[in-house]
């Protein structure tokens, strides 16, 4: 039986297994789900072993464990591919907006609904099943495989960089591959060559040392919530341009050739408005929506709180105010430097009547990868064979910080072969994976590994 025929014959079982994976609530940010993290890692390890991997280990970190597997049967002359994925998921909140329970995977029509269906369990699982298919039909995969599945991606991978630095020999490879992004449409495959980075901070503004009566003190005490809002208003102008001094210094500008290329990415403004559920687009008027969301840095308030927010009215002048702020970065902005710049700016614009503390929550570097490497060419051809059309080359606005780490610590580029769709509702209620994409993902990866093995190219 051919490897592709094996996949088709066993597809219903693959789906059942994926549902089992998705039913484990491996929410990395919630301490009470620690046992589920261990359970998900253990389940994945068992799957890797039964897929044929001679080695699959649970390797501890100072946080959730890494699942590492390797199968080096293609020989020293064949390329070695490092697969990365994550078995952790975002919280399912708000729960009442789910039409089906987030950890009770449910198929409706062509879609599989569950937290993690697309991000990233469904996509990471593809590699396990592709390996199994090669095992059952060819004996071994056509390339050497190393798999690194982490459990902390959704919380900023706090222990992954040290893990990679401590295991550079173990993880040595010619190229990395990640399926944790999306393509443009059901029949519109895309290959991603750039990701944005991220700097995430929490700001605390403290005024009076206790809450005050707003009638007795209002007018002569600077309200920390008002101050915070005024400071936030000074971070960005109406057009989306960020006002933090030095913020744009390292931004790599888009050249005309790339802008022309990005302009060819199929994009319907109306579909985009509908998908986002907004009435109008917003942002830097000198850039297209595609450029704004993938190739330009951003600043967003993720949450703001303080004072009285329960029912009814309370006349209070709160002692403290807080906000969470994130900035999407582009190459070559460094998250640590951007965090220093925003901290300095907050200190500079803060009135003397309050104290401001800026805490670094996490960050990650953006990345740009080569577009003409043998692995990218194999990926292009693999998509073409599975989808019937060649993929579009595009940038992506989300962040997968490990791509920059692989470049820095292992000296390798990553091929970003996503199979999600733009409307998969990642991190939202009713996350789903479009099942025909699951099937095509398996096919594409079989082609990719076969082509890369045949090319013999190292990287």
Among 174, 180, 396, 424, the residue binding Zn ion under the rule CB under 5 A is: 180
**What CA–CA distance (Å, rounded) separates 421 from 271?**
13
Q: Does 398 bind ligand BES (CB under 6 A)?
A: yes
Which region among 41-49, 92-100, 148-156, 405-413 touches ligand BES (by CB under 6 A)?
Answer: 148-156
CB 359 within 8 A of CB 335: no
For the CB of residue 190, give the shortest distance to ligand BES in the complex, in Å: 10
CB of 89 to ligand BES, least distance (A): 9
Structure tokens at 147: 């798999």
Tell whether residue 120 is a contact of Zn ion (CB under 5 A).
yes
Task: Please give the angle made by the CA atoms of 251, 256 and 258, to the nearest 5 degrees.
Answer: 75
Residues 409-448 that bind ligand BES (CB under 6 A): 426
Q: Is 107 exposed, middle or buried (0-12, 13-18, 19+ CB in 10 A)?
A: middle
What DSSP state is assigned to residue 65?
Answer: P
Does the protein bind ligand BES through residue 386 (CB under 6 A)? Answer: no
| SS3 (DSSP) at 232 | helix
What, of ligand BES, Zn ion, none, does residue 182 touch, CB below 5 to 8 Å by kind? Answer: ligand BES
Partner from Zn ion, ligand BES, none contacting 436, C-beta within 5 to 8 A by type: none
Confirm or reject binding of residue 88 to ligand BES (CB under 6 A): no
* Residue 119 makes contact with Zn ion by CB under 5 A: yes
Query: What is the Cα–Cα distance from 404 to 258, expressed in whole angstroms?
Result: 21
Closest to 342 measured CA to CA, from 322, 356, 355, 353: 356
Q: Which residue is nearest to ligand BES (CB)?
A: 398
Give 45 or 115: the residue with its C-beta nearer to ligand BES. Answer: 115
Paired with 323 in beta bridges are 203, 304
Residue with smaller CB distance to ligand BES, 111 or 119:
119
Beta pairing partners, 149? 67, 85
**Closest CB to Zn ion among residues 399, 444:** 399
Q: Which does 36 bind (CB under 5 to 8 A by kind): Zn ion, ligand BES, none?
A: none
- Reading the block at residue 276, the tokens are 């986002």
The residue annotated as part of the active site, out of 36, 70, 111, 153, is: 153
Residue 14: closest CA among 99, 136, 108: 136
The reply on whether position 223 binds ligand BES by CB under 6 A is: no
Specify the stretch interacting with ligand BES by CB under 6 A; choose among 143-151, 153-161, 330-338, 368-376: 153-161
Which parts of 207-319 are beta strand (E)?
212-213, 300-306, 316-317
The piece of 57-65, 127-135, 177-185, 213-221 that touches Zn ion (CB under 5 A) is 177-185
Let me know if 152 is a catalytic residue. no
**Within 138-255, where are the H helices?**
160-166, 168-171, 224-233
96 included as an active-site residue: no
If the CB atoms of residues 119 and 291 are measured against Zn ion, the closer one turns out to be 119
Q: Which residue has tokens 């993880």?
A: 171
190-195 and 392-396 strand pairing = parallel
Out of 88, 111, 396, 431, which one is annotated catalytic?
A: 88
> Cβ(113)–Cβ(99) under 8 Å?
yes
Stretch that binds ligand BES, among 16-24, 59-67, 332-340, 394-402 (CB under 6 A): 394-402
By CB under 6 A, residue 52 contacts ligand BES: no
- Using a 10 angstrom Cβ sphere, with 0-12 exposed, 13-18 middle and 19 or more buried, the burial of residue 163 is buried
- Contact mark string toward ligand BES, 103..132, x via CB under 6 A: ----------------xx------------
- Please pick, from the candidates 70, 153, 381, 413, the single residue that binds ligand BES as defined by CB under 6 A: 153
C-alpha to C-alpha distances, 450 to 220, 222, 428, nearest whole angstrom: 72, 66, 35
CB of 299 to ligand BES, least distance (A): 14
Among 391, 401, 441, 453, interactor with ligand BES by CB under 6 A: 401
Task: Report what 181 binds from Zn ion, ligand BES, none; CB cut-off 5-8 Å by kind.
Answer: ligand BES
Contact call for residue 338 and ligand BES (CB under 6 A): no
Q: How does DSSP assign 304-365, residue by residue?
A: EEES--SSS---EE-SEEEEEEEEEE-TT--HHHHHHHHHHHHHHHS-TTSEEEEEEEEEE-
Closer CB to ligand BES, residue 11 or residue 267? Answer: 267
Residues lying near ligand BES in the complex (CB under 6 A): 119-120, 153-154, 156, 180-182, 198, 364, 396, 398-401, 426
Q: Active-site residue numbers?
A: 88, 153
- Give the binding site for Zn ion (CB under 5 A): 119-120, 180
């Amino acid at each position: 039986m051919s490897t592709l025929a094996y996949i088709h014959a066993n597809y219903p079982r693959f789906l059942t297994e994926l549902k089992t994976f998705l039913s484990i609530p491996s929410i990395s940010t919630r301490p009470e789900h620690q046992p589920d993290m261990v359970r998900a890692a253990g389940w994945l390890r068992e799957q890797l072993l039964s897929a044929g991997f001679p080695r699959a280990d649970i390797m501890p970190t100072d946080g959730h464990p890494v699942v590492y597997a390797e199968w080096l049967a293609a020989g020293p002359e064949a390329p070695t591919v490092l697969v990365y994925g994550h078995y952790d998921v975002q919280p399912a909140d708000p729960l009442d907006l789910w039409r089906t329970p987030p950890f009770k995977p449910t198929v409706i029509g062509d879609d599989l609904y569950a937290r993690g269906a697309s991000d990233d369990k469904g996509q990471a699982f593809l590699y396990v099943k592709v390996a199994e298919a090669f095992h059952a039909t060819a004996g071994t995969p056509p390339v050497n495989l190393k798999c690194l599945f982490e459990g902390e991606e959704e919380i900023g991978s706090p222990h992954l960089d040290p893990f990679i630095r401590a295991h550079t020999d173990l993880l040595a490879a010619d190229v990395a591959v990640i399926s944790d992004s999306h393509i443009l449409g059901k029949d519109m495959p895309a290959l991603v060559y750039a990701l944005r980075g991220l700097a995430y901070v929490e700001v605390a503004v403290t005024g009076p040392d206790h809450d005050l009566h707003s009638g007795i003190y209002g007018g002569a005490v600077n309200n920390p919530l008002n101050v915070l809002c005024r400071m936030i208003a000074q971070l960005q102008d109406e057009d989306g341009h960020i006002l933090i001094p030095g913020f744009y210094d390292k931004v790599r500008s888009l050249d005309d050739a790339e802008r022309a290329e990005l302009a060819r990415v199929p994009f319907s403004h109306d579909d985009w408005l509908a998908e986002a559920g907004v009435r109008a687009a917003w942002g830097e008027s000198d850039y297209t929506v595609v450029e704004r969301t993938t190739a330009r840095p951003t600043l967003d308030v993720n949450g703001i709180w303080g004072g009285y927010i329960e029912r009814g009215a309370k006349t209070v002048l709160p002692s403290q105010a807080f906000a969470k702020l994130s900035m999407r970065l582009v190459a070559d902005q460094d998250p640590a430097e951007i965090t220093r710049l925003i901290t300095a700016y907050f200190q500079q614009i803060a009135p003397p009547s309050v104290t401001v503390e800026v805490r670094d929550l996490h960050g990650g570097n953006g990345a740009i990868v080569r577009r003409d490497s043998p692995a990218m060419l194999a990926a292009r051809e693999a998509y073409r064979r599975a989808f019937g059309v060649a993929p579009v080359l595009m940038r992506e606005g989300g962040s997968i910080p490990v791509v920059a780490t692989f470049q820095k610590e292992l000296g390798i580029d990553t091929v970003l072969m996503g199979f999600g769709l733009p409307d998969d509702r990642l991190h939202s209620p009713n996350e789903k994976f479009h099942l025909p994409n699951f099937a095509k993902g398996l096919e594409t990866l079989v082609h990719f590994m076969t082509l890369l093995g045949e090319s013999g190219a190292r990287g």
